[in-house]
C-alpha cells in the first residue's frame, strides 16, 4: 500500500472500551509534527480527541493526499469529521447532529477536548478546544496560549479553511443538501473554495457596485425628470408672467377711468342743479295764482258739510231701532215654528200607537196558527218506534273510538319525544364531526404554509382519485392521528418531515402516474412513497412491552397513533415504529442500564431521543442522543376510531329518524280513519237524539206558545182613549200660538213706521249731497292743478337739496381718488391723461366694463408669478449643473464597474471552464454526460450569477439540471462527488472532507467514482482529501499516495503501542499462500 521508502504515519485510536482508555494520552504533547514537504499550508497533520463522542482518547495522523477512513457503522468515523469541524471553530449546525456542543462530549464525562495541528510555513498551528458539558462552554488555546474563539476563526480564515462551505466540508448529514443548493449559493461556495482569494471579494464588490450604480441611475433619472418638469413649469410661469404684464396695462387704464369718472359725474350733477333751481322759481309763481282763484267755492262746500252731519246721525239711530224690531219678529217666528213641530210630534205619536195595535193583532193571529200546526205534528210523532237502543249502541262505539284515539295520541307523543331526542343527538354528533373536520383543516393550513407544492398536489389528488387503481393516501401528516396530543412530539421527531409530507401509494404504477402528472407536468416538488407489497402494519415487536416496564417504558411508538394500513406498514418497515419503546423520567434516570439491554436500537425518554449502535466486532454499544422538540403538525389530534363511531352513530340516528317518520305517518293515517268513523257516528247519534226528543220538544213549544198568546190577549191598546188625549194636547198648543202671533204683528208695525221716518231723512240728505257734488265738480279742475303744482314745488326743492349735497360729495370724492387737497386744482398730467379718455359717463362705463372684462380673463395672477419665474430660472441652472456632475460621475462609475467586471468575470469564466472540462471528463469516464456552466439571466445583475450543473445518466434522456427532486439519491451522490473532484485539482483550500457519500450509489458507479477519486486526489498538485466510508467494494484500484485509516472499537482491540503493521501483513500473506 505504500512504498518502502515512504515515511510512515501511524494513527493511534482508542475506542470507548475501558482496556485502552489510558493509552498514549501525552504522546504528542509539547512536540511538533514536521510535514514531509507535500503538505499544503493549512493541511491537517494531527487530530487528537479525548472523551469526544465514542473516543476515550485517539490520535489520527492523516496523509497529505487522499485519506480514506474506513470502519463499520458506529465505530467513530463521523466522530473524526465532527472533531475537525468543532476543532476549527465550526458551528454545530454544520454537522446536522446535536445543536449543543456539550452533546459531543462522551457520555458520562464532564468535559472533552479536540486538538488539531495544521501545517503552516514558519511553524505549525496547534488549536486546542476543551468542551464543558455543564454550561456548553468551550476553552480555546492557540499554540499553547489561551485565546478566544474569534482569534481562532481569524487564524482558520487566514489559512483559507471554510468548514461552513459544502464544497470543502461535506458531513454525512449534509450530503443531501448539496443538491439543494441554488445556483447562486453554489457559485459563492465554489469561489470561496477554489477561486483566487480576491475573486469572491471582487464578486461582492461588483454586487455592491451594481447596487450603488442602480442608486446613481435612479438619482440621475429622478434629477433629469425633475429638471424636465421644472422647465415645463417655468414655461408655464413665463406665459403667466406675460399675461400678468398685459393684465397690469388693463388695470392702469381702469385706474385712470375710475379717477376721471367722479369728475365727469360731478360736472354732470352741477349742470343738473342749475336747471333745477330755475324750474323751482317758476313753479312757486304758478302755485300762488291758483290758490287765490279757489277760495269762495271752498267756503260754500264747508257750510253744506255742517248741515249734513245731524241728519246722518238721525239716520243711524233709526237704522238701529229697525234692526231691534226685526230681531224680535224673528225670535217670535222661531217660537211659532217650534209649536207647529210640537203638534206634528203629537200626531205622529198617535199614528205609532195605531200601527202598534195593528201589529199586535197580527201576532195573536200568527200564534194561534202555529199552535194548531204543532198539535198536528205532535199527533204524527206519537206513532213512530223507540230509538233509545240504537243510541246506546252508538255511544258504546264512540267510547271505543275515543279510547283508540287516546292510545294513538300517546304513541304519537312518545314518537315525537323520541324524534326530538334523535334530532338533538344528531346535532350533537354533527357538531363533533364538524369540530374534527375543522382540526383536519388546521392541519392542511399548516401544510400549505410550510410546503405549498404538496398542498397543491393534494388538491389535485382529491379531484382525480378515480385515476388510480390502488389505495392512495394523502400526506402522512394528515392521515396520522396521534391518540394523545402529548405523544405527538415523539412521532414527529421519529418520522422525517420529507416523509410526513409524502403521499403513500399501494401500487407502484399509481406512484409513477402521480409523479408524471404532478412533478413532470405541473412542475411541483413533492415526495411519494410506495407501501411494502407485504403488509408490515401488524408486525410484532421484538420484546413484549411488559418486560420493559421496569425501566419506565409504557408503550411502543406504534401504539401512540392510528394510520391507514399502507401508511402504518411503511412506518413499521422503514422506521420500525412497532419496535421503538417510549419511556418516562424513570427511563432517563436508568439510561445507563437501559442501553445495555439487547434489541434496543432507538428509544425515547420524556424529553430525549436515544439511538444505540452495537459494534459488529466487539458488541460494544455507542449512543447518541438529541432533544425531542415540540410537535408542530401532529399535535392536532383527531381520534379516527371515535370519528368512525360518530359517523356510524350519525347513520343509525338518521335511520332511526326515518323509521320514526314512517311510524308517525301510519299513526296519522289510522287517526284520520278513526276521525271519519267518529264523525259518522256523531251525525247518526244527533239524528236519533233529535228524533227521540222531538215529541217532548213539540209539547213544550205548544205550552210556551199558549202562554204567550194569553199574555198578548191581555195587553190590548185602547185607541179611543189615546185619540182624546191627542186632541186635548193640540188645543193647548194652538192657544200658545195665538199669543205669539199677536206679538209678531205689533213688532212688524213698529218696524214699518221706523222705515218711513228713515226714508224722509235720506231724501233730505240726498238733496244736500247733490248740491255739494255740484260745487266740488266746479272746483275740481282748479284743485287738481293746484295740488299738482304744489307737489312739483316740493319735488324741485327736494331735488335741489339732493343735487347740492351730491355735488359736494362728488367733488370731495373726485379729489380724494386723485389724492388732491380740498383747495387744490386738478394737476396738469391728470388733465392731459383725462383728455385722451371719453367725456361722457356712458362711454366711460362702457370702456370700464370692457377693460375689466379683459382684466378678469387673467385670473390667479399676482406679482409672485414674476418672482417665481426668476427663482425657477436660477433653480434650473443649478439643476442642470448638478445633473451634468452626476451624469459624469455615473459614466466614470460605470467605467470602474466595467474594469471590475473584467477582473472578476474573465477569471471566473476560465475557472468554470476548467471545472466543466474536469466534470465533463469525469462523466465521460462514467459513460454518462455532464456539464457545468456559468448561468445568468442578465449580465449586469451580478447577484443573479450562478453555477448550473446539468447531468444525464441515461442515453435516452436529455441533460437535466441537478436538483434535490429530479435525480435519484444515487445520481445526486455521483454528481456531488464528481463536482467536488473537479474542484480538487483547482483547490485553493488546504483540505476537503466528504463523509459517506457513496452510500446511495450502485456498485458500478461506486467503482467508477472511487477510481476517479483515487486518480485525482493522489496527484501531487492536489490538496489533502478525506473520504469516509463504512464499506468498500472488492478489487478496487489503490494508489501509493493514499493513506488508509481503519477505525476499530471494542474490548479486544490492541493498544496503539502494540500495533505491528508488518506482522499483520505477514500473517495475511501466509493465509493467502495457504489458500
Instruction: Map 387-441 to HEC letters.
Output: CHHHHHHHHHHHHHHHHHHHHHHHHHHHHHHHHHHHHHHHHHHHHHHHHHHHHHH
Max mean pLDDT among 255-259, 462-466, 704-708, 723-727 falls in: 462-466
Among the listed ranges 8-22, 136-150, 549-563, which one has the minimum average pLDDT value? 8-22
Task: Read off the pLDDT of residues 389-433 as tens digits, 9 standing for 90 and up.
Answer: 777 888 888 888 888 888 888 888 888 888 888 888 888 888 777
Q: What is the pLDDT of residue 583?
A: 93
Task: Read off the pLDDT of residues 796-829 as tens digits, 9 standing for 90 and up.
Answer: 788 788 878 878 877 777 777 777 777 777 777 7
The H or E element containing residue 949 is strand 946-952
Q: What is the pLDDT of residue 79?
A: 86
Residue 944 corresponds to which cell in the numbers above? Answer: 443573479
- Give per-residue burial for 1056-1071: e unless 16+ CB within 10 Å, then b: beeeeeeeeeeeeeee
**Residue, of 204 and 559, whose pLDDT is higher:** 559
DSSP 105: B
Instruction: Give mean pLDDT, residues 12-40.
Output: 43
The H or E element containing residue 113 is strand 111-118
Q: What is the pLDDT of residue 964?
A: 66
Q: What is the pLDDT of residue 399?
A: 85
Sign of CA dihedral 832, 837, 838, 840: negative
Q: What is the pLDDT of residue 580?
A: 92
pLDDT-derived band at 384 (thresholds 50, 70, 90) equals: low
Q: What is the pLDDT of residue 173?
A: 60
- Output the CA–CA distances (angstroms, integers) from residue 891 to 219, 221, 573, in the order listed: 13, 13, 67
Closest CA to 705 of 365, 359, 361: 365
Q: What is the percentage of the chain residues whose pLDDT exceeds 70? A: 86
DSSP 552: T
Residue 330 has pLDDT above 80, yes or no: yes
Instruction: Give mean pLDDT, residues 261-289.
Output: 78
What is the DSSP secondary-structure string of 1038-1056? --TT-EEEE---STTPPPG
**Residue, of 659 and 187, whose pLDDT is higher:** 659
Residue 225 has pLDDT above 80, yes or no: yes
- Bridge partners, 170 (sequence order): 994
- Give per-residue burial for 744-753: e unless 16+ CB within 10 Å, then b: beebeeebee
Closest CA to 528 of 1025, 954, 965: 965
Closest CA to 168 of 88, 100, 114: 88
**Locus of grid cell 444525464:** 952
Task: Read off the pLDDT of residues 690-749 as tens digits, 9 standing for 90 and up.
Answer: 766 666 777 777 788 778 877 877 776 777 777 788 888 888 888 888 888 888 888 888
**Locus of grid cell 406665459:** 239
Q: What is the percentage of the chain residues whose pLDDT exceeds 90? A: 5
Sign of CA dihedral 805, 807, 808, 809: positive
Residue 573 corresponds to which cell in the numbers above? Answer: 418497515
pLDDT-derived band at 755 (thresholds 50, 70, 90) equals: confident
**Residue, of 318 and 246, whose pLDDT is higher:** 318
Asked if 662 and 464 touch (Cβ cutoff 8 Å), the reply is no
| Sheet strands (E) in 53-110 | 55-60, 66-70
Residue 1061 has pLDDT above 90, yes or no: no
Q: What is the pLDDT of residue 197?
A: 67
pLDDT-derived band at 116 (thresholds 50, 70, 90) equals: very high
pLDDT-derived band at 37 (thresholds 50, 70, 90) equals: low
3-state secondary structure (DSSP) of residue 965: coil
- Output the CA–CA distances (angstroms, integers) from residue 720 to 353, 732, 882, in the order listed: 11, 19, 139
Task: Read off the pLDDT of residues 602-624 as tens digits, 9 standing for 90 and up.
Answer: 999 988 888 887 766 556 677 78
Residue 2 has pLDDT above 90, yes or no: no
Q: Give residue 196's region: left, alpha or beta (phi > 0; psi -120 to 50).
A: beta
How far apart, in whole angstroms, are the C-alpha atoms of residue 662 and residue 1051? 82
Instruction: Give mean pLDDT, residues 1012-1019.
Output: 80
Q: Residues 6 or more apart from 119 whose CB is under 8 A from it?
A: 35, 39, 40, 41, 42, 43, 44, 45, 990
Residue 935 φ/ψ, nearest 5 degrees:
-115, 135
**Residue, of 956 and 683, whose pLDDT is higher:** 683
How far apart, in whole angstroms, are the C-alpha atoms of residue 263 and residue 805? 15
CB atoms within 10 A of CB 432: 15
The pTM of the full predicted model, rounded to 2 decimals, is 0.43
Instruction: Give mean pLDDT, residues 169-189.
Output: 70
**Residue, of 632 and 144, whose pLDDT is higher:** 144
Residue 7 has pLDDT above 80, yes or no: no
Average pLDDT, rounded, for the chain? 79
Residue 284 has pLDDT above 80, yes or no: no
pLDDT-derived band at 571 (thresholds 50, 70, 90) equals: very high
Among the listed ranges 524-533, 584-593, 646-655, 1001-1010, which one has the minimum average pLDDT value? 1001-1010
Q: What is the pLDDT of residue 101?
A: 83
pLDDT-derived band at 20 (thresholds 50, 70, 90) equals: very low
Instruction: Give mean pLDDT, residues 842-867.
Output: 72
Q: What is the pLDDT of residue 180?
A: 67
How far apart, in whole angstroms, are the C-alpha atoms of residue 171 and residue 188? 19
Q: Residues 6 or more apart from 920 whose CB is under 8 A from it?
A: 929, 930, 931, 932
Task: Read off the pLDDT of residues 898-952 as tens digits, 9 standing for 90 and up.
Answer: 777 777 777 878 788 877 887 788 787 777 888 888 888 777 777 778 888 888 8
- Give per-residue burial for 505-533: e unless 16+ CB within 10 Å, then b: bbbeebbebbbebbbeeeebebbbbbbee
What is the DSSP secondary-structure string of 683-734? HHHHHHHHHHHHHHHHHHHHHHHHHHHHHHHH----HHHHHHHHHHHHHHHH
Q: What is the pLDDT of residue 25?
A: 29
**Locus of grid cell 442522543:** 625
How far apart, in whole angstroms, are the C-alpha atoms of residue 883 and residue 876? 10
Instruction: Give mean pLDDT, residues 556-582.
Output: 91
Residue 824 corresponds to which cell in the numbers above? Answer: 387744490
Q: What is the pLDDT of residue 846?
A: 79
What distance separates the 2 farthest-apart alpha carbons in the chain? 190
Asked if 401 and 677 touch (Cβ cutoff 8 Å), the reply is yes
How far apart, in whole angstroms, are the C-alpha atoms of residue 447 and residue 461? 15
3-state secondary structure (DSSP) of residue 384: coil
Q: Where are the alpha helices (DSSP H) in 451-559?
A: 452-463, 476-479, 488-494, 497-500, 508-515
Q: What is the pLDDT of residue 17?
A: 35
Length of the chain: 1075
Instruction: Give mean pLDDT, residues 324-329.
Output: 84
Closest CA to 774 of 304, 312, 292: 304
Q: What is the pLDDT of residue 113?
A: 92
CB atoms within 10 A of CB 727: 10
Asked if 435 and 442 touch (Cβ cutoff 8 Å), the reply is no
Q: What is the pLDDT of residue 556?
A: 92
Residue 641 has pLDDT above 50, yes or no: yes
Give the CA count within 13 Å in the CB-facing half-sphere of 284.
Answer: 8
**Locus of grid cell 514536521:** 34
**Residue, of 447 and 1057, whose pLDDT is higher:** 447
How far apart, in whole angstroms, are the C-alpha atoms of residue 502 and residue 527? 5
Task: Read off the pLDDT of residues 767-794 as tens digits, 9 standing for 90 and up.
Answer: 778 877 777 776 666 667 777 777 778 7
End-to-end CA distance of the chain: 22
How far apart, in whole angstroms, are the C-alpha atoms of residue 545 and residue 960? 50
Instruction: Give mean pLDDT, residues 533-551.
Output: 88
pLDDT-derived band at 190 (thresholds 50, 70, 90) equals: confident
The H or E element containing residue 772 is helix 719-817
Instruction: Give mean pLDDT, residues 182-198.
Output: 74
Amino acid at each position: 500500500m505504500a512504498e518502502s521508502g515512504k515515511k510512515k504515519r501511524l494513527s493511534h485510536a482508542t475506542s470507548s472500551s475501558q482496556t485502552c482508555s489510558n493509552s498514549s494520552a501525552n504522546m504528542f504533547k509539547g512536540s511538533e509534527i514536521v510535514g514531509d514537504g507535500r503538505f499544503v499550508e493549512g493541511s491537517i497533520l494531527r487530530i487528537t480527541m479525548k472523551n469526544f463522542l465514542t473516543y476515550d482518547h485517539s490520535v489520527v495522523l492523516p496523509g497529505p493526499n487522499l485519506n480514506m477512513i474506513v470502519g463499520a457503522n458506529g465505530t467513530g468515523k463521523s466522530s473524526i469529521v465532527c472533531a475537525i469541524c468543532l476543532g476549527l471553530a465550526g458551528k454545530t449546525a454544520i454537522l446536522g447532529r446535536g445543536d449543543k456542543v456539550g452533546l459531543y462530549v462522551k457520555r458520562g464525562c464532564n468535559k472533552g477536548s479536540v486538538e488539531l495541528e495544521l501545517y503552516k510555513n514558519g511553524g505549525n498551528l496547534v488549536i486546542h478546544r476543551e468542551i464543558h458539558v455543564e454550561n456548553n462552554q468551550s476553552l480555546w488555546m492557540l499554540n499553547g496560549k489561551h485565546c478566544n474563539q474569534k482569534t481562532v476563526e481569524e487564524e482558520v480564515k487566514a489559512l483559507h479553511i471554510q468548514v461552513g462551505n459544502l464544497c470543502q466540508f461535506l458531513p454525512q448529514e449534509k450530503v443531501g443538501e448539496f443538491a439543494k443548493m441554488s445556483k447562486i449559493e453554489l457559485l459563492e461556495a465554489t469561489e470561496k473554495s477554489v477561486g483566487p482569494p480576491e475573486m469572491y471579494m471582487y464578486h461582492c464588490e461588483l454586487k455592491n457596485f451594481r447596487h450603488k450604480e442602480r442608486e446613481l441611475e435612479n438619482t440621475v433619472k429622478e434629477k433629469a425628470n425633475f429638471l424636465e418638469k421644472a422647465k415645463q413649469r417655468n414655461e408655464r410661469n413665463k406665459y403667466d408672467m406675460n399675461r400678468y404684464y398685459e393684465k397690469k396695462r388693463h388695470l392702469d387704464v381702469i385706474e385712470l377711468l375710475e379717477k376721471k369718472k367722479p369728475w365727469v359725474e360731478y360736472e354732470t350733477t352741477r349742470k343738473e342743479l342749475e336747471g333745477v333751481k330755475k324750474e323751482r322759481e317758476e313753479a312757486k309763481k304758478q302755485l300762488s295764482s291758483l290758490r287765490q282763484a279757489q277760495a269762495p267755492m271752498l267756503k260754500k262746500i264747508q257750510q253744506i258739510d255742517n248741515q249734513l252731519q245731524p241728519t246722518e246721525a238721525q239716520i243711524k239711530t233709526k237704522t238701529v231701532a229697525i234692526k231691534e224690531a226685526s230681531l224680535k219678529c224673528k225670535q217670535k217666528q222661531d217660537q211659532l215654528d217650534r209649536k207647529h213641530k210640537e203638534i206634528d210630534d203629537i200626531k205622529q205619536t198617535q199614528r205609532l200607537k195605531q200601527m202598534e195595535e195593528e201589529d199586535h193583532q197580527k201576532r195573536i193571529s200568527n200564534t194561534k196558527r202555529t199552535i194548531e200546526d204543532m198539535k198536528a205534528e205532535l199527533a204524527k210523532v206519537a206513532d213512530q218506534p223507540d230509538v233509545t237502543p240504537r243510541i246506546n249502541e252508538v255511544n258504546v262505539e264512540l267510547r271505543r273510538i275515543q279510547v283508540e284515539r287516546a292510545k294513538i295520541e300517546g304513541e304519537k307523543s312518545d314518537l315525537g319525544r323520541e324524534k326530538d331526542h334523535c334530532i338533538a343527538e344528531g346535532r350533537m354528533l354533527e357538531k363533533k364531526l364538524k369540530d374534527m373536520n375543522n382540526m383536519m383543516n388546521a392541519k392542511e393550513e399548516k401544510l400549505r404554509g410550510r410546503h405549498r407544492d404538496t398542498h397543491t398536489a393534494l388538491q389535485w389528488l382529491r379531484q382525480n382519485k378515480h385515476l388510480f387503481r390502488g389505495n392512495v393516501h394523502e400526506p402522512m401528516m394528515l392521515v396520522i392521528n396521534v391518540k394523545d396530543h402529548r405523544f405527538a412530539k415523539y412521532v414527529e421527531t421519529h418520522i422525517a418531515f420529507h416523509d410526513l409530507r409524502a403521499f403513500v401509494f399501494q401500487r407502484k404504477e399509481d406512484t409513477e402516474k402521480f409523479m408524471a402528472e404532478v412533478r413532470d407536468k405541473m412542475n411541483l416538488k413533492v415526495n411519494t412513497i410506495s407501501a411494502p407489497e407485504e403488509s408490515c402494519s401488524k408486525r410484532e415487536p421484538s420484546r413484549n412491552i411488559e418486560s420493559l416496564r421496569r425501566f419506565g417504558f409504557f408503550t411502543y411508538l406504534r401504539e401512540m397513533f392510528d394510520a391507514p394500513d399502507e401508511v402504518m406498514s411503511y412506518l413499521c418497515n422503514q422506521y420500525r415504529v412497532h419496535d421503538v419503546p417510549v419511556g418516562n423520567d424513570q427511563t432517563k434516570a436508568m439510561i445507563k442500564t437501559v442501553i445495555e439491554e439487547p434489541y434496543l436500537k432507538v428509544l425515547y425518554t420524556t424529553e430525549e431521543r436515544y439511538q444505540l449502535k452495537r459494534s459488529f466486532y466487539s458488541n460494544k454499544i455507542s449512543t447518541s442522543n438529541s432533544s425531542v422538540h415540540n410537535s408542530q403538525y401532529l399535535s392536532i389530534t383527531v381520534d379516527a376510531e371515535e370519528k368512525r363511531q360518530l359517523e356510524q352513530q350519525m347513520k343509525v340516528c338518521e335511520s332511526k329518524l326515518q323509521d320514526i317518520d314512517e311510524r308517525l305517518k301510519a299513526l296519522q293515517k289510522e287517526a284520520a280513519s278513526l276521525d271519519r268513523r267518529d264523525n259518522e257516528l256523531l251525525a247518526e247519534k244527533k239524528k236519533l237524539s233529535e228524533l227521540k226528543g222531538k215529541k217532548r220538544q213539540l209539547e213544550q213549544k205548544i205550552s210556551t206558545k199558549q202562554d204567550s198568546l194569553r199574555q198578548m190577549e191581555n195587553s190590548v191598546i185602547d185607541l179611543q182613549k189615546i185619540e182624546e188625549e191627542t186632541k186635548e194636547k193640540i188645543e193647548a198648543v194652538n192657544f200658545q200660538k195665538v199669543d205669539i202671533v199677536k206679538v209678531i204683528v205689533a213688532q212688524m208695525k213698529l218696524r214699518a213706521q221706523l222705515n218711513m221716518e228713515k226714508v224722509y231723512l235720506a231724501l233730505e240728505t240726498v238733496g244736500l249731497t247733490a248740491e255739494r257734488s255740484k260745487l266740488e265738480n266746479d272746483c275740481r279742475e282748479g284743485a287738481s292743478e293746484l295740488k299738482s303744482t304744489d307737489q312739483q314745488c316740493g319735488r324741485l326743492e327736494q331735488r335741489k337739496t339732493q343735487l347740492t349735497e351730491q355735488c359736494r360729495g362728488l367733488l370731495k370724492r373726485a379729489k380724494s381718488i386723485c389724492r388732491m387737497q380740498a383747495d387744490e386744482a386738478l394737476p396738469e398730467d391728470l388733465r392731459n391723461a383725462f383728455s385722451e379718455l371719453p367725456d361722457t359717463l356712458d362711454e366711460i362705463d362702457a370702456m370700464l366694463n370692457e377693460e375689466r372684462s379683459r382684466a378678469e380673463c387673467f385670473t390667479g395672477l399676482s406679482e409672485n408669478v414674476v418672482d417665481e419665474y426668476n427663482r425657477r430660472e436660477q433653480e434650473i441652472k443649478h439643476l442642470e449643473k448638478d445633473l451634468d456632475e452626476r451624469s459624469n460621475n455615473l459614466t466614470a462609475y460605470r467605467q470602474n464597474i466595467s474594469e471590475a467586471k473584467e477582473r472578476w468575470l474573465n477569471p471566473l469564466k476560465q475557472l468554470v471552464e476548467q471545472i466543466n472540462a474536469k466534470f465533463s471528463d469525469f462523466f465521460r469516464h462514467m459513460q454518462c454526460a455532464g456539464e457545468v456552466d456559468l448561468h445568468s439571466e442578465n449580465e449586469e445583475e451580478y447577484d443573479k450569477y450562478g453555477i448550473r450543473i446539468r447531468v444525464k445518466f441515461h442515453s435516452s434522456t436529455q441533460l437535466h439540471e441537478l436538483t434535490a427532486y429530479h435525480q435519484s439519491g444515487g445520481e445526486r451522490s455521483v454528481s456531488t462527488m464528481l463536482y467536488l473532484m473537479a474542484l480538487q485539482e483547482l483547490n485553493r483550500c488546504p483540505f476537503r472532507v466528504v463523509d459517506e457519500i457513496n452510500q446511495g450509489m450502485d456498485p458500478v458507479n461506486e467503482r467508477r467514482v472511487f477510481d476517479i477519486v483515487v486518480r485525482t486526489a493522489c496527484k501531487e498538485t492536489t490538496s489533502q482529501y478525506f473520504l469516509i466510508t463504512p464499506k468498500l467494494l472488492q478489487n478496487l484500484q489503490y494508489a501509493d499516495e493514499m493513506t488508509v485509516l481503519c477505525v476499530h472499537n471494542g474490548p479486544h482491540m490492541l493498544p496503539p503501542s502494540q500495533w505491528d503493521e508488518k506482522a499483520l501483513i505477514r500473517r495475511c500473506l501466509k493465509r493467502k499462500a495457504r489458500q
